[in-house]
Amino acid sequence: MLPLARLRTGLNLNGTGQLAPVPPMPQAVAAGAVPDRELPSPPASETARPMRHCIRFPEERSAMAGFTEFGARDHDGRSDRDIVDAYLRHFAPITDRDGRDIVAERVATGDDVLDLCCGQGTLAAEAAAFGANAAGLDFSPQIAARARAAAPGAEIVEGDAAAMPFGDAQFDKVLCNFGMMHIADQPGALAEIRRVLRCGGTFAMAAWMDPAASPAFAAVFGALRANADFSAAPAQPDLFAFADPVQARDLLAGAGLVMQNHCATGAAWTPDRPAELFDIFLTATVGAGMPIRSQSAETVGRMAAAIERTVSGTHADGTRYAVPVSVAVISALAA
């Protein structure tokens, strides 16, 4: 899995409180993205990837609450050694890169920093290396143990993101690297983030962009949409809720967090064979893997074949394959 040339496009808040474009970095747009909404045009010398509306499956149902079964399965999955090991092999090269950038751009010596949903402890370790007073929180004892080993200079604790074991206004910065979209009670977690942040403190997070901006997710979720029976899997939070800048702004505002910017970066999976992309989502994910693992063997076979056809037909580069994926990086201030 290798990063593509870095891409940063998006929105920030101007002095009037309105969404305004972030100046993009010069980039080539990854192949396979189909825009459905354009930002204001960048200078002619630059090419920007447009931001996209969030995509939600009809089968995800109207209930945005009641994710109890999802939460239980998510906890079990993130405590599964095989899934965790596969995640670290296939996802960490992308997620760690963006997490390190978040720390480098926002953390200073002496800051009190929380790495929320800390996973393997990458951000906690980076923050401690920058001279911050770092803490990490994760609900999985197995993952928290890995974080303690990776970040011996940080305080790693087990707990619920929607009921954090920290005091009011305890942190200058709260960082969440690809964790927010997996939390069953996202409004509760955002409210807790605001509670533990000092006034004027920063919340920064990374999340996956939706399938319209990420050909890798388009291949996988397109095959799911065409073949899967979603009633076989528990309802879960919208994986791409934070991909849309307006929806992200509103979710944050509901907790007293004022969004400052919403940018996109790019990377790619580089599988050795077309079938490997399906294997990654089957073995290395929890939320995305639930609807896959809930299907019959025949349906799983159809999905695997569809994804393999997409990779081989659309993302081949000679004898190699590169399937782009996009990441939203968002920051907000505690009002």
Q: How far apart are CA 32 and CA 173, in angstroms?
A: 36
Does the pLDDT of residue 74 top 90, yes or no?
Answer: no
* Averaged confidence pLDDT in the chain: 82
More confident residue, 80 or 223: 223
Local structure of 209: helix, strand or coil: coil
Q: What percent of the chain has pLDDT over 70?
A: 78
> Looking at per-residue confidence, does 69 or 148 come out higher?
148
Please report which confidence band the pLDDT of residue 10 belongs to, taking 50, 70 and 90 as the band edges.
Answer: low
pTM of the predicted protein model: 0.80
285-333 pLDDT per residue, tens: 887 788 888 899 999 999 999 999 999 999 998 889 999 999 999 999 9
Q: What is the pLDDT of residues 164-206, one digit of tens each?
A: 999 999 999 999 999 998 898 999 999 999 999 999 999 999 9
| Digit-coded pLDDT (tens) for 253-276 | 999 999 999 999 999 999 999 999
Q: Which residue has the higher pLDDT, 205 or 32?
A: 205
Residue 38 has pLDDT above 70, yes or no: no
Instruction: Looking at the chain, list the stretches that DSSP marks H as alpha helix, in order from N- to C-terminal side.
Output: 68-77, 81-90, 92-106, 122-129, 141-150, 186-196, 215-227, 245-253, 276-284, 289-293, 297-314
- State phi, psi for 250 to the nearest 5 degrees: -70, -40
**Arithmetic mean of pLDDT, 116-137:** 97
Q: Give pLDDT, residue 40.
A: 32
pLDDT higher than 90, residue 244: yes
- Looking at residue 8, its pLDDT comes to 52
- Within 10 Å of residue 214's Cβ, how many Cβ atoms? 28
Answer whether residue 234 shows pLDDT above 50.
Answer: yes
- For residues 212-239, average pLDDT: 89
Mean pLDDT of 133-150: 94
Asked if 205 and 330 count as a contact pair (C-beta separation under 8 A), the reply is: yes
Question: What is the average pLDDT across 218-236?
Answer: 88
Could you say which architecture CATH assigns to the domain 62-334? 3-Layer(aba) Sandwich (3.40)
